[in-house]
Structure 1
Amino acid sequence: MDLIGTLAHQLQQLKQQAEQIDLKQVSGKPQNWFDSTLFSCRSPQLTDYVIEAQRNLNHLQHSALAITAKQRLVQRLSEQTVALTRAFRNVDIRRKPSNKVHKAKNLVQQISVSSQQLYQQLSDTQEFERRLQDMIVLANRENAPDAIQRSLALHARLGRCRKALSDIERQILDLERRN
């Protein structure tokens, strides 16, 4: 088989592969597969690029071109074939989300969960602070002998509660600064 026949056969095989790839929905599939200097078509379908290469091959076979024009067309066909072959080898890589993207999504999800947990913890602690303040008011109204002791204990708990509130608020600020 001559070189043009071999190239025609290779392009036919690439076209079949392209049709199979084009049938599958690929999330990372580019809108334009190749550089505009290499192919004139702009398509998300690989088959269109193979068809363009086949048209160039037909033009080479059936047109009366000058030697330099034929050489340029052969060079272009060679570059197109190499680019198509490389694209087919790398199509599986495009289908899989990259590790970095996967890690980033997990990190965002963790930050979101921890942010929600911190806000929930802040809300719970604020509610606890409010109840402690109510208990202190009630303890101050009482005339019982242990009211002072109970009031001091409640104030100590309120101090620890406020320290916990400031710690939670600091954690929330730190989390928001990182984003």
Structure 2
Amino acid sequence: MRAHQLEQLKAQLAALEAKVHQHDAQLSDADKRWLHHKSRFHEQLFEQQGASLAGCLEVLRRDLKQIEQMVQVGATGDTLGLACQRFGERFEALMQALANTDTARRGNQLSARGRSSKNSDYQWIDQSVMNSSHKLHQELAKHKSWEDKMVQKIQQMEQALDITPANDKITLQNEILALHKRLGKCRQAMTYIEQRIAWLEKPRY
């Protein structure tokens, strides 16, 4: 296993750490109230409740340290593969938690602005689409198709981890994490589109 492959995982974790610290710093009192008693992860991933996500980083650091130690002693096969898979699952869960907070906050801001799409973070969606419920349903279906394809690809790649040579496991894990990141953005966009559809189809009295 090459050292630069492990360094890639470290760099990805460092980037995630920066996002988590930014997330926690931007939490408003309202965010802290509605997230206070929420369990945001499956108990096998993180034992964490509340708005702050910083506590999850220590678990990921410990996982990565374990992978590094395995590499140093020449561990191969299922042991290393399972460690990489566990790290990837927790990494993705934390990324999704960040996206969920951001999407919920954006939904609240959208409501406060009268659901205007002009300041949306999704400027790549044509304005005519944003103002048409029918076109938004088509856009949502397109995103759903992308989501299904990415989920299927991730499952195939995770299954391939079991038979991937030890020297290539970290490289494959990096590819899985990158695809998880794209999947998270896709799901975030889907949530936003669903919110927009709900507002457009809301009865006006």
TM bin (shorter chain): 0.3 to 0.5
- Higher RCO (CA 8 Å, separation ≥ 6 residues): 2
TM-score (norm 2): 0.41
Structure (1/2) with the larger helix percentage: 1
Please identify the structure whose Cα radius of gyration is greater. 1
TM-score (norm 1): 0.47
